[in-house]
Chains A and B, each alone.
Chain A
Amino acid sequence: AQKITQTQPGMFVQEKEAVTLDCTYDTSDPSYGLFWYKQPSSGEMIFLIYQGSYDQQNATEGRYSLNFQKARKSANLVISASQLGDSAMYFCAMREPSGGYQKVTFGTGTKLQVIP
């Protein structure tokens, strides 16, 4: 079974609009962390936001917020006021204990294109 599922291969959003990128996860461990990364066409992985499994409030970082619904095992990324520079691949990732290590698993990604 997939640990991290991103069901949207591609998304379009109008500049200045908000967009939600979906992510669901699967784990039986009570202690885990969820991350979102941005990968522009240049290839580098840019960390955006983190949500811990025990965090009571949804994480926010500037224009990024994470809609964490623990019971539904979803961790959607919300980008407000989209900018042209937001066009990139976005990966959801989960860290969980695995054989003594904290292993991070990535989803398949969503390609976001911001339209002027």
Chain B
Amino acid sequence: SAVISQKPSRDICQRGTSLTIQCQVDSQVTMMFWYRQQPGQSLTLIATANQGSEATYESGFVIDKFPISRPNLTFSTLTVSNMSPEDSSIYLCSVRTGGATQPQHFGDGTRLSIL
């Protein structure tokens, strides 16, 4: 399995500002995933980030709001832009190491609160 480090672990932000979340993996991985977990809800996939290509966004998520960078095989960032209270969530980075039978592993998440 992979060790995934997310920064920051939590933050409180003012509405209208932006925050960049970092995800560092201890091994090279092809695909990295960003999820959102709103309070008391399940996980929703925001986008899939492959190194060297544009991220693929799920329905309801757009690049202007959630720009993603993937500069190499061990690192990715997710920016939450122009934040509003509705963006208050846990944001989780996830990777899969190995084939389709392998589970996705998750970072500890970033707890984001917007005032």
Contact = CB atoms under 8 A, between A and B. Distances in A.
A90 to B, nearest CB: 11
Contact of B56 (A31, A33, A101, A107): A101
Contacts, number: 48
A108 interface: yes
B43 A47 contact: no
A103 interface: yes
Contacts of A107: 42
A106 B58 CA distance: 14
B108 A44 contact: yes
Contacts of A8: none
Interface of A: 31, 33, 35, 37, 43-45, 47, 50, 52, 91, 95, 99, 101-109
- B interface, by DSSP: helix, strand, loop or mixed? strand
A44 B109 contact: yes
B109 A104 contact: no
B42 A104 contact: no
Contact of B42 (A35, A102, A103, A106): A106
Nearest to B108: A44
Taking residues whose C-beta sits less than 8 angstroms from the other chain, chain B's interface range is: 20 to 34
Interface of B: 1, 31, 33, 41-45, 48, 56, 90, 92, 94, 96, 100-106, 108-109, 111
Contacts of A91: 42-43
Nearest to B104: A104
Q: Quick one: which of B31, B41, B48 has the most chain A CB within 10 A?
A: B48
A41 to B, nearest CB: 12
